Amino acid sequence: MNLADVLRALRASWWLLLLGALVGAVVGVSFSLVQTPMYTAQTQLFVSATGSTSTADAFQGNQFSQQRVTSYAQLLTGERLATRVVDELGLDVDPADLAGQIRATAVTDTVLIDVAVTDASPAMAQQIAGAVGAEFGSLVDEIETPVGVDGVSPVKVTVVEEPDLPTSPSSPATLRNTLVGLLLFAAVGGLVAVLRMRLDTTVHEAEVASDIAGAPIIGVILRDDDLANEHTIERNSVSRTAEGYRQLRTNLQFLNVDEPPKVIMVSSAVPSEGKTTLAVNLALALAEAGRSVTVVEADLRRPRVTRYLGMVGGVGLTNILTGSAGLEDVIQPYGEGNLSVIAAGPTPPNPSELLSSSQMFALIDELRAKNDFVLLDAPPLLPVADASGLAVLVDGVVLSIRYRATTRAQLAQTRATLDRVGGKALGVVLNIVPPKAEVTSAYGYGYNYGYEPDPAAPSSS
């Protein structure tokens, strides 16, 4: 996966980043709210050498003090000093716990030590910091004064900055925690988005679908809630979905200019991929362009064409194939006469045998002679064998692939099924595509090429 793939994954699943950021911000704020506010009082100590009588002595004393500063920073956070502070202030606290509240930092290349004391009480933090400064001076005197020798310590510790009473808590840092949580969880959301794309085996890219199917992408049909309920596009509709069907119609007619396909089977890999809706609306689009079209309801197990078009489905294809009726007895006109429909008829016990029979071959030849296009709404190719036998009788197959539903393995198996029986895939239609999905189309201007009024045309008002 390269950078372009990562960016595509982040754009496609941007909501995961947003969700992660929101969750992280909530976690950061919640973490801050459950913490006890802590206050920090600060003091500063100055370490100097005593007994300097000349410039040379002062220089050596300064170096001596700098060498001591680092060690003193360690002593400031030790239990020995903490015990003296506990005794001095009469605190009911373990010296080890108090030592954990003290932080000392030696200022680089100086003889200064910054001391910070943190406590839940601002007043107590100030008192402890003051006691640390006072008691540490005494502790250093004891440590540095030679044992058994009367004299003074060669080092003196002076408090140069008295601790002030802290007025605002030093922790929790709510803003920092919120930002850290936001960034951390947003990163987790981005990682989930990338993994989601990496593990996604469904078909959602035009190039991938074309490569697996071994056929070009000839249409991209957007998801339309009205279409899902009504199943047909209104005549002269200017919706993006209607334009998708018109583009499909154009591409279909120019797949092979010398020998354009006339008898076309519309199928899919598995059920619920929108093949019947595709067949019906493609037929309507062709009829709208003045082509004579017959739609054959060849899905004998689950016929849907007549239901979607609001027509009678009592007799039909199975009656013709069994010889109990002729073509003229069952064919039904639809609309203004360019479109005709042959219903499925009674459900037979042997749909596979009927659809691959010589009677079906003869019917297709008869329909070919009478129409510009013949569309057969066939069953899915993978669950049953009905469509496999039918695929060899037609000029080609248009596959309806549902966006982010059909898997790559299913599409590959569908291609293998067609190859095995000698069927030809004319093209692939990415169906039920979310309007905001990024699908690279191999044709046309895309979906933002709308109508522009003629400025020279007279106003309707």
In this prediction, residue 336 has a pLDDT band, given cuts at 50, 70 and 90, of confident
Q: What is the pLDDT of residue 446?
A: 39
Residue by residue, DSSP assigns 152-192 as --SEEEEEEEPPP---S--B--HHHHHHHHHHHHHHHHHHH
Nearest to 400 by CA among 145, 258, 218, 252: 218
Structure token digits, residue 352: 């596979």
Question: Which residues 6+ apart lie within 8 Å of 328 measured at CB?
Answer: none
- Pair of tokens at residue 242: 């209607």
Residue bearing the bigger pLDDT, 279 or 336:
279
Q: 39-161 maps to which CATH number?
A: 3.30.70.1130
Q: Where in the chain is the domain with CATH 3.30.70.1130?
A: 39-161
Identify the DSSP state of 296. E
Instruction: Supply the pLDDT for residue 439.
Output: 62
Report, as an integer, the average pLDDT of 91-119: 92
Tell me the per-residue pLDDT of 40-65, one tens digit each, with 9 for 90 and over.
Answer: 999 999 988 775 544 554 455 556 66
Is residue 460's pLDDT more than 60?
no
Instruction: Give the closest residue to 74 by CA, choosing from 121, 25, 115, 118.
Output: 115
Do β-strands 293-297 and 263-268 pair in parallel, antiparallel, or remain unpaired? unpaired
Identify the band that residue 245 occupies on the pLDDT scale cut at 50, 70 and 90: very high
**Nearest partner of 118 among 169, 45, 83, judged by Cα:** 169
Interval 387-444: pLDDT, tens: 999 999 999 999 999 998 999 999 999 999 999 999 999 999 999 999 877 664 444 3
DSSP state of 377: E
Averaged pLDDT, 97-103? 94
Q: Could you give the angle at the alpha carbon of 151 between the alpha carbons of 146 and 156, nearest 5°?
A: 80
- Give CATH 3.40.50.300 domain extents, the chain: 204-433
- Across the range 199-221, mean pLDDT stands at 91
CATH number of 204-433: 3.40.50.300
Give dist(CA 399, CA 218) in Å, integer: 10
Averaged over 362-385, what is the pLDDT?
96
Quote the pLDDT of residue 445: 35
